[in-house]
Amino acid sequence: MMGRCLQALRRFGKDESGSVIMLEFVIMVPLVFSTFLMSVELGIYSVRHMFLDRGMDIAVRYVRLNSDDENITHQFLKDMICDNAGFLEDCGNTLKLEMAKVDPRNFGALDPEPRCIDLSQPPEPDQGLNLGEEHELMLLRACVKFRPVFPTTGLGKALEKDGTGRVRMTSIAAYVLEPS
């Protein structure tokens, strides 16, 4: 019985009839699989970004319509964004907000490098928010950090990571305060 099995294995090893297909399989499967992993990563990134944008839109709408509310603080806006952006993991600890007044006639953009939280570094104190005056154009930028689903392949490997392996995502919203 054992001899027959060994003889069958030797015949199978010497047979070269499927070697052409095997070569295509070895080349194509990793390409197709890595493309699949990259598309899953991009889909999850897009969903996270959509939820961050939704949270920003709801928070900015609240600020715009309730500009005389004295309870609007940095922490209040962070909590509001995180409550309305349900798909972001550890949002309260990884979200950082920046707010700037902008002159529409002499537009000066925000700093191109967003200020984000790096959990591997000591925390920086939150800056106070200036909600602006009536009819002023204000920009609010949020930066949140998250862990990629597949950090070692495709898109997850290409994204810039911080010391804890997290990737940043930003969202910007503009508003003008309504007159009281």
Q: Specify the pLDDT at position 124.
A: 64
What tens digit of pLDDT does each residue of 81-101 get?
999 988 888 888 888 888 888
Model confidence at 171: pLDDT above 70 = yes
- The residues spanned by each domain of the chain are 20-176
Q: pLDDT-based confidence at 144, cuts 50/70/90?
A: very high
Cα angle value 96/166/54 (rounded, 5°): 50
Per the prediction, the chain carries an average pLDDT of: 83
Share of the chain above pLDDT 70, in %: 89
- What is the predicted pLDDT for the residue at 18? 61
**What is the average pLDDT across 127-140?**
76
- Euclidean distance between CA atoms 149 and 41, whole angstroms: 6
Question: Judging by beta carbons within 10 Å of its beta carbon (0-12, 13-18, 19+), is residue 55 exposed, middle or buried?
Answer: buried
pLDDT for res 158: 85
The pLDDT tens digits for 41-83 are: 999 999 999 999 999 999 999 888 887 777 888 888 889 999 9
